[in-house]
Amino acid sequence: MNMLYFLYIEFLAKYNIPQWFGDITFYFIPGIIIFFALLVVILFLVLIERKLLGWFTQRKGPNRVGLWGVLQTVADALKLLCKENITPDKSNKVLFNLAPILIFLPVIPILGIIPYSSEFTFVNLRTNMLIFIVFASLPVLCILLGGWASNNKYSLIGAVRNIAQILAFELPMAFTLIGIAALASSINLSDITLAQNNANGVVGWFIIPNIIGFIIMFICTLAELNRCPFDLPEAESELICGYNTEYSGMRFAMFYLSEYSMLFANTLFISVLFLGGYLSPFGKYLAPILLPESIGNVAIYFEQAFWLILKSFLIIFIVIWVRATLPRMASFDLLKFSWCWLLPISILNLFFIIILKCGGLCA
Amino acid sequence: MNNSRLKLNLGPQHPSTHGVLRLVLDLNGEKITACEPDVGYLHRGMEKMAEKLSYIQYLPLVDRIDYLAGFFYSELFCRSIENALEIELSNRIKAIRVMLLELNRIASHLLWIGAFLMDLGAVSPFFYAFRERELILQYFEKISGQRMMNNYFVFGGLRHDIFDLDDVEEILRILPEKIIDYENIITENPIFIQRTAQKGILEASDAINYGITGVNLRTSGFNFDLRKTDKLYDGYEFDTVVLENKDSWGRYKARVLEIKESIKIVAQAVANIKTNTIYEATKIKPVNLTIPEGEYCSEIEAPRGLASCFIISDGNKAPYRLKWRTGSYYAVNLLRKLLVGTYINDAIAIAGSLDIILPEVDK
């Protein structure tokens, strides 16, 4: 990170721009880079989800716009841009317009704290796991805002459901995260990644001692993202479209984009916690072996990012697979499932992890 | 005492009211305290039209009473006229009619399975069910030129003899395997059981009081299947599916079992068609057809319960009065009772499980 800072200052100095300007703007650059990288990833994610769903349900999926339908999402986004933005009568107009803007913001800090490679984290704070906990549950507030401000009964029911759902799933998730912190003796994501380093690759990953935690975390993430089978807030067969029933055009697209970007951010986070983050599954990096030494030492960082994103896409694949297979849970059963099963199991799992750690059975 | 906090207008434009059903729900939280079904958005005046049109002009319309089970209503109307004119059908025609009716029942139940799972939030079974239904519809198209509103039965026979049984044998070969697939993905799915078991319990006495027939009645443990006494089905070996579950899950299971029974009947019908090779239809002049003065009633076990056609003739070219009895109409009335005390997402599942088809309700 420091290296990047000096490179930036040097670059500005070439054009006689003073250093104080560089000091201020430097902290905006990661945000801008993340934002545009995210847009590309989302476009790809939406396409992949539709292609996979098509595959699961014996259809072709989008295959008309561009080669193999790669431009389908772009076409959809353009269509949504051209649509009229309708603000319902008697709605709270300020909050109604604010919600879709706010909902897109929390994802950027989350992507900022992920260690993409051993040398590259945008914001490497000592306690950045806490940042995730705070920002990952922020979209809920925006959903409540939008659902309440729409002045629509379906939206309101969807928003209230979402609040109940997040409250129920936040606690088991927190207990799982504490388990990870205990295993790694740190709540810094870079340290957590390094704690999983092992000469034999997969063996060192926290998914091995903490498989129950991984499953709980996966379920909680599904709930937090409102993905099937926990997509109650936007259950289309019950609540039309839930909290975003009244939204149209670009505002609807913002909700949609935020959903996919949160999916990406959350799966990256799970990969860091359980699947060894940027570490290679073979224990050794392939780049120095396959490539000549001069390129290989730099390519190692790209390989690390590749492993991280590959792991996150594997989880995304499972998420989509679950969506294609399972029906939606009922809201009452969902709360019961979380409070009566997930929470006790996650607490027991935490004790188990602590015993493992104290007994020195894992690193 | 009115303890409702929210009045929710579910429909007529709602994704899971299967057409244009409007339910006015009184909600307390998400709990339904009262339900008022409102029908008539798809009323086409089927009964009044009969009084103005000649019999042969009315024949193509009867398929449209229930577009998912068109053959049954054709059969009913033809049978009323055949009763009036005292026409005896030849064995081949009877066997062909049985085969088409049962194929139509399979298609209707398949669509129901897909739509019901869609109501519960599972997307894939919808496509799987449509894939198999497509085979049947393609066969219908091959013999009658139409996929759904076939208009293939005429008074005293068929529009023409069938010429191909290979497709039916193909369907008979494929369907049982596919039904095993459905059972694997749906029947024992824990979320599916959670959503449907012990939900929407319908006692046999209530079912009879509300005039419920068909699968819904048989799932309440009451053995009533008109096919057992129907002359058309003489000599066919099949079991009536009677379950004691009384809940939504039972209604799903019963329909799956009924598909299996229908497959048996179709196989026997195919054998019958092969042995009776001579096609002889009673020649009647359809133009200016009149039937003797009197009252003629015919009944049949349609996919959505007992259906009957009652004609009062005064000897003219058009009936004096014609009355249809359809199964779904009574099921809609039952919602008043079944939905009270349930939650919204259960309500959608219960309403879906009754297999309500709106054109059949409104006529």
pLDDT of residue A344: 92
Residue B117 sits at the chain A interface (C-beta within 8 Å): yes
Chain B residues whose CB is inside 8 A of the A331 CB are 30, 343, 345
The amino acid occupying position B133 is R
Chain A residues 235-274 with CB within 8 Å of chain B: 235-240
B184-209 average pLDDT score: 86
Find, in chain B, the residue whose alpha carbon is nearest to that of A241. Answer: B15
Tokens 């009957």 belong to residue: B308
Rounded to whole angstroms, the Cα distance separating A108 from A35 reads 7
Nearest by CB to residue B343, choosing from A57, A154, A331, is A331
B201-210 average pLDDT score: 88
- A219 CB-side CA count, 13 A: 23
Q: Which of A323, A362, A351 is nearest to A207 (CA)?
A: A362
Among A326, A331, A332, the strongest candidate for a mutation testing the B interface, having the largest count of B CBs within 10 A, is: A326
Tokens 């009877």 belong to residue: B94
* Separation in Å, CA B164 to CA B143, B167, B169, B170: 8, 7, 10, 11
Kindly state the tokens that stand for B87: 């026409």
Q: Which of B287, B279, B363, B323 is nearest to B97 (CA)?
A: B279
Find, in chain A, the residue whose alpha carbon is nearest to that of B346. Answer: A330
- Contact at CB, A235 and B345, closer than 8 angstroms: yes
Among A58, A222, A328, the strongest candidate for a mutation testing the B interface, having the largest count of B CBs within 10 A, is: A328
Helical packing angle, B166-182 and B124-144, nearest 10°: 170
Residue A320 sits at the chain B interface (C-beta within 8 Å): no
pLDDT digits (tens, 9 = 90+) for B97-129: 999 999 999 999 999 998 888 888 888 888 888
Tell me what ipTM this predicted complex has: 0.79
Give B9's strand partners.
Answer: B24
Say what the pTM is.
Answer: 0.85
Non-local CB neighbours of B236 within 8 Å, separated by 6+ positions: B98, B227, B265, B268, B269
Q: Which of A136, A168, A336, A150 is nearest to A239 (CA)?
A: A150
pLDDT digits (tens, 9 = 90+) for B233-278: 888 888 888 888 888 899 999 999 999 999 999 999 999 888 888 8
- Contact at CB, B345 and A238, closer than 8 angstroms: yes
Rounded to whole angstroms, the Cα distance separating A299 from A290 reads 10
Nearest by CB to residue A57, choosing from B124, B189, B345, is B124
Give A10's strand partners.
Answer: none
Rounded to whole angstroms, the Cα distance separating B59 from B31 reads 45
Low-confidence ranges of chain A (pLDDT < 70): 1-4, 30, 236-237, 297, 361-363
- Contact at CB, B191 and A329, closer than 8 angstroms: yes
The amino acid occupying position A256 is Y
Question: Quick one: B45-325 is in which CATH superfamily?
Answer: Cytochrome-c3 Hydrogenase, chain B (1.10.645.10)
Q: Are B281 and B156 in contact (CB under 8 A)?
A: yes
The amino acid occupying position B23 is L
- B189 CB-side CA count, 13 A: 25
Find, in chain A, the residue whose alpha carbon is nearest to that of B129. Answer: A57
Rounded to whole angstroms, the Cα distance separating B342 from B118 reads 19
Q: Are B352 and B206 in contact (CB under 8 A)?
A: no
Chain B residues whose CB is inside 8 A of the A239 CB are 344
Rounded to whole angstroms, the Cα distance separating A223 from A213 reads 15
B7/chain A closest Cα distance in angstroms: 9
The amino acid occupying position B157 is G
Chain A residues whose CB is inside 8 A of the B122 CB are 325-328
Chain B residues whose CB is inside 8 A of the A157 CB are 30, 344
Q: What is the mean pLDDT of chain B?
A: 87
Handedness of CA A353, A167, A94, A104 (dihedral sign): positive
Q: Are A157 and A170 in contact (CB under 8 A)?
A: no
Kindly state the tokens that stand for A153: 């009964």
Chain A residues whose CB is inside 8 A of the B345 CB are 232, 235, 238, 328, 330-331
Find, in chain A, the residue whose alpha carbon is nearest to that of B119. Answer: A237
Could you give phi then psi for residue B311, rounded to 5 degrees? -115, 130
Residue B6 sits at the chain A interface (C-beta within 8 Å): yes
- Contact at CB, A57 and B128, closer than 8 angstroms: yes
- Over 60: is that where the pLDDT of B1 sits? no
* Separation in Å, CA B329 to CA A121, B213, B227, B288: 64, 11, 21, 33
Q: How confident is the model at residue B137 (pLDDT cuts 50, 70, 90)?
A: very high
H/E stretch holding B157: strand B157-158
Chain A residues 210-229 with CB within 8 Å of chain B: 228-229
Chain mean position to CA B210: 18
* Separation in Å, CA A248 to CA A37, A105, A273: 25, 19, 37
B40/chain A closest Cα distance in angstroms: 22
Q: How confident is the model at residue B359 (pLDDT cuts 50, 70, 90)?
A: confident
Rounded to whole angstroms, the Cα distance separating A12 from A6 reads 10
Q: How confident is the model at residue B317 (pLDDT cuts 50, 70, 90)?
A: confident
With vertex at residue B232, the alpha carbon angle to CA B227 and CA B233, rounded to the nearest 5 degrees, is 50
Q: Which of A163, A333, A230, A58 is nearest to B121 (CA)?
A: A230
Q: Are A225 and A232 in contact (CB under 8 A)?
A: no
